[in-house]
């Protein structure tokens, strides 16, 4: 007797999706899901009645409760395994050289000199300007 296959879309949280690819299992995903569901159906009498549980929140609570019962029978936990704890090591501290302290001195006010009256242009200044213009 040949089993008929049906396509079914499954949405995964990003963490599970990433873990699936990290473990190189994407080609076996449908087999894993089918096997898990088949075993789950064999061991539980799960059934959702819309009359008893009209909202999705109630239905999900029921499913969570049944999953916990299922995993408690198999001795498994519904909680994801915790990663091994690493011992915390003290960070190595590099001693910095002491910073030099600079004293800020108060600036002295700038003395303003009274403006000097303009001197009359002498012929020497004009000759210097003309010779500079010739350079350009």
The 10s digit of each residue's pLDDT in 111-126 is 666 666 655 555 566 6
Q: What is the model's pLDDT at position 90?
A: 58
Round to whole Å and give the CA distance between 107 and 30: 80
Q: Cα–Cα distances in Å, from 109 out to 23, 104, 106, 112?
A: 74, 15, 9, 9
Q: How many residues does the chain have?
A: 136
**Least confident span in 47-51, 72-76, 90-94:** 90-94
Cβ of 17: how many Cβ atoms within 10 Å?
A: 13
Round to whole Å and give the CA distance between 65 and 59: 10
- Inside any domain, residue 71: yes
- Inside any domain, residue 26: yes
Mean pLDDT of 32-60: 88
- Inside any domain, residue 69: yes
- Inside any domain, residue 91: no
Q: What is the model's pLDDT at position 48?
A: 87
- Inside any domain, residue 84: no
Look up the pTM and report it.
0.45
- Domain extent, residue 27, equals 10-43
Ranges of H-type helices in the chain: 14-22, 29-43, 56-74, 123-135
- Inside any domain, residue 52: yes
């Amino acid at each position: 007797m040949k089993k008929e296959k049906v396509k079914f879309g499954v949405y995964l949280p990003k963490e599970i999706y990433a873990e699936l690819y990290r473990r190189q299992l994407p080609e076996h995903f449908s087999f894993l899901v089918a096997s898990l569901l088949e075993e789950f159906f064999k061991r539980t009498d799960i059934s959702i009645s819309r009359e008893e549980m009209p909202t999705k929140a109630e239905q999900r609570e029921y499913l969570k409760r049944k999953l916990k019962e299922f995993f408690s029978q198999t001795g498994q936990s519904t909680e994801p395994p915790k990663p091994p704890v690493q011992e915390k090591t003290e960070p190595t501290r590099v001693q910095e050289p002491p910073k030099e302290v600079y004293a800020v001195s108060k600036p002295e006010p700038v003395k303003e000199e009274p403006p000097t009256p303009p001197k009359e242009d002498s012929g020497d200044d004009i000759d210097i300007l003309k010779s500079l213009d010739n350079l350009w």
